[in-house]
């Protein structure tokens, strides 16, 4: 017995993701324009795949409408960690120095004041502890520490401006 799903409500990108997931799950399917046809025995798995894709779509739509509202100035940006406002962009870097390999971590996020300060302290601590092992790291570390300091100061100014204008 075959089950048909009408996927016309979903965007082309979502349909592509569903096809990808079906292929990965080794589910046999037929996609005729916007109608997906599968065997009844795969119904539960296909339901899962489609609902997962739908929630991703909803998430992106919500993020996009939020971004539109921010651009049009009707609402300020919210912190990516806790959702508070005001929030401003903050970019922090740290590195884990090893003798040969040097890894660098970077975050770029819109954060409210408490989350930004916490992330900043955390990054500076991590950099200070782990960052001194390799020779290259030792050279790069002060650069990163001061770049982070510059960025957190800029973040503080932006938050203050947002508070004044609110
Ligand atoms: Zn926050």
Same domain membership, residue 112 and residue 60: no
Judged against a pLDDT cut of 90, whether residue 156 lies above it is answered with: yes
By residue range, what is the domain housing residue 12?
Answer: 2-71
Same domain membership, residue 92 and residue 66: no
Same domain membership, residue 91 and residue 60: no
Could you give the dihedral angle defined by the CA atoms of residues 62, 64, 65 and 69, in that order, rounded to the nearest 10 degrees?
A: 130
87 CA to centre of ligand 1 in angstroms: 7
Same domain membership, residue 43 and residue 103: no
67-107 tens-digit pLDDT: 666 666 656 788 988 999 999 999 888 765 544 455 566 77
69 CA to centre of ligand 1 in angstroms: 19
142 CA to centre of ligand 1 in angstroms: 27
71 CA to centre of ligand 1 in angstroms: 20
Output DSSP code: residue 41.
Answer: G
Flag the least confident range among 42-51, 53-62, 118-127. Answer: 53-62
Contact in structure between 131 and 119 (CB atoms under 8 Å): no
124-154 tens-digit pLDDT: 876 665 555 555 566 667 778 888 999 999 9
109 CA to centre of ligand 1 in angstroms: 10
The model carries a pTM of: 0.45
Same domain membership, residue 91 and residue 50: no
Q: What's the rounded Cα separation, in Å, for the pair 126 and 105?
A: 11
Could you give the dihedral angle defined by the CA atoms of residues 142, 123, 114 and 156, in that order, rounded to the nearest 10 degrees?
A: 20
- Asked if residue 137 is part of any domain, the answer here is yes
117 CA to centre of ligand 1 in angstroms: 9
Q: How many domains does the chain have?
A: 2
């Amino acid at each position: 017995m075959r089950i048909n799903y009408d996927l016309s409500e979903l965007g082309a990108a979502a349909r592509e993701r569903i096809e990808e997931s079906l292929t990965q799950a080794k589910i046999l399917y037929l996609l005729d324009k916007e109608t997906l046809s599968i065997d009844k025995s795969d119904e539960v798995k296909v339901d899962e795949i489609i609902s997962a894709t739908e929630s991703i779509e909803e998430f992106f739509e919500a993020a996009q409408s939020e971004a539109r509202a921010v651009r049009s100035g009707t609402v300020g940006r919210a912190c990516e960690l806790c959702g508070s406002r005001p929030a401003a962009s903050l970019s922090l870097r740290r590195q884990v120095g090893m003798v040969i390999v040097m890894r660098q971590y970077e975050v770029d996020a819109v954060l409210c004041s408490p989350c930004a300060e916490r992330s900043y302290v955390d990054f500076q601590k991590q950099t200070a502890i782990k960052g001194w092992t390799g020779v290259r790291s030792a050279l790069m570390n002060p650069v990163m520490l001061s770049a982070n300091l510059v960025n957190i100061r800029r973040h503080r100014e932006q938050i203050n401006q947002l508070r004044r204008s609110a």
